[in-house]
């Protein structure tokens, strides 16, 4: 299927690896110009080289900016005046008991996971509305629904993205701009692969066995019963980036293998 994205420009926050990187790769294959991002120039350059190798003639660029610092957002806005597709993908989490989670941890997660997307949306949506075309995504998580007790602060950041995305969608009424939330479930990013390997070493078993047990005990509602691949999430984002997907606005797009449950 031709997603009709050729020539359009995307920015993806937190995209030197994981879902963001895979999304960059899919959008580049569709002929888009893509700006990636990570915290350091070094990590951005490594990712750029990988993407240039994977997608010959890719129009790919990078901007290093650490979203835990509000002032770093300026670097993105200065380097990229307009985008057609804004993917607010960056997300960090700390696994800790509610009682041990400090205010600084809550604030850092809100700054990175929520406020980066708020600031970038404020900056880019006006141009999208003027041009009568644009796509905005916020990467949520199954945790917004499940709320694991060691991830209450992270889950709260993700739940708040749903309200922001829906509110922004309402501002797009009658235009060709859309704003949607994407809800991944457990996804096999590099971090998840490390988690499986470390747990396997700790429990003297294999990463495959750890994965099976994780779904049996921690994600019992999952219908997929395995980690999704980053490509499975990336191709979903690519479809909803397309002009073909204009009728999906203010929506919650689940790619969680059914883990957040419920018939509605």
Q: Known catalytic residues?
A: 154
Q: Which of 29, 31, 43, 159 binds ligand NAP (CB under 6 A)?
A: 43
Report, in Å, the least distance between residue 74 CB and ligand NAP.
14
189 touches ligand NAP (CB under 6 A): yes
Q: Of 30, 62, 84, 91, which one interacts with ligand NAP (CB under 6 A)?
A: 91
218 Cβ contact partners less than 8 Å away, ≥ 6 residues apart: 148
Place of tokens 């990636």: 36
Of residues 50 through 79, those in contact with ligand NAP by CB under 6 A are 66-68
Q: In the set 27, 35, 38, 87, which binds ligand NAP (CB under 6 A)?
A: 38
Phi (first) and psi of residue 131, to 5 degrees: -85, -5
Considering only 29, 52, 79, 92, the residue that binds ligand NAP (CB under 6 A) is 92
**Using rule CB under 6 A, residue 17 touches ligand NAP:** yes
Comparing CB distances to ligand NAP, the nearer of 58 and 64 is 64
Q: Contacting ligand NAP (CB under 6 A), which of 23, 187, 236, 241?
A: 187
Please tell me whether residue 186 binds ligand NAP under the rule CB under 6 A: yes
CB 25 within 8 Å of CB 15 = no
**Which of 83, 261, 247, 90 has the alpha carbon at shortest distance from 178?**
247
List the structure tokens of 75: 């670097």
Per CB under 6 A, does 184 bind ligand NAP? yes
Q: Are 17 and 40 in contact (CB under 8 A)?
A: no
- The yes or no reply on residue 15 touching ligand NAP (CB under 6 A) is yes
Give the pairing type, strands 134-139 and 177-184. parallel
Total residues binding ligand NAP (CB under 6 A): 30
Q: What is each CA distance from 143 to 93, 133, 191, 197, in whole angstroms?
A: 11, 31, 16, 22
Q: Which one of residues 89, 101, 153, 241 is an interface residue with ligand NAP (CB under 6 A)?
A: 89
CA distances from 129 to 34, 120, 134, 172, 179 (A): 20, 14, 7, 7, 12
Ranges within 102-131 binding ligand NAP (CB under 6 A): 112
Structure tokens given for 73: 């957002």
The binding site for ligand NAP (CB under 6 A) comprises 14-20, 37-40, 43, 66-68, 89-92, 112, 139, 141-142, 184, 186-187, 189-192
């Amino acid at each position: 299927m031709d997603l009709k994205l050729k020539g359009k420009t995307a920015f993806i926050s937190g995209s030197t690896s994981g879902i963001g990187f895979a999304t960059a790769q899919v959008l580049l294959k569709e002929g888009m110009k893509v700006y990636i991002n990570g915290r350091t120039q070094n990590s951005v350059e490594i990712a750029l080289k990988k993407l240039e190798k994977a997608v010959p003639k890719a129009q790919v660029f990078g901007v290093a900016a650490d979203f835990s610092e509000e002032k770093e957002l300026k670097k993105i806005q200065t380097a990229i005046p307009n985008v057609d597709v804004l993917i607010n993908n960056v997300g960090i989490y700390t696994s800790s008991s509610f009682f041990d989670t400090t205010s600084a941890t809550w604030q850092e997660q809100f700054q990175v996971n929520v406020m980066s997307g708020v600031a970038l949306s404020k900056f880019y949506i006006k141009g999208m509305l003027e041009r009568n075309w644009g796509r905005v995504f916020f990467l949520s998580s199954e945790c917004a629904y499940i709320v694991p007790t060691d991830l209450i602060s992270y889950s709260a950041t993700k739940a708040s993205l749903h309200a922001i995305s829906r509110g922004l969608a309402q501002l797009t009424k009658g235009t060709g701009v859309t704003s949607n939330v994407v809800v991944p479930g457990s996804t096999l990013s590099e971090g998840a692969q490390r988690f499986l390997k470390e747990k396997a070493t700790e429990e003297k078993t294999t990463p495959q066995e750890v994965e099976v047990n994780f779904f049996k005990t921690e994600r019992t509602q999952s219908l997929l019963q395995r980690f999704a691949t980053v490509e499975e999430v990336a191709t979903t984002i690519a479809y909803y980036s397309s002009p073909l997907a204009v009728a999906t606005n203010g929506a919650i797009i689940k790619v969680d293998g059914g883990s957040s449950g419920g018939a509605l």
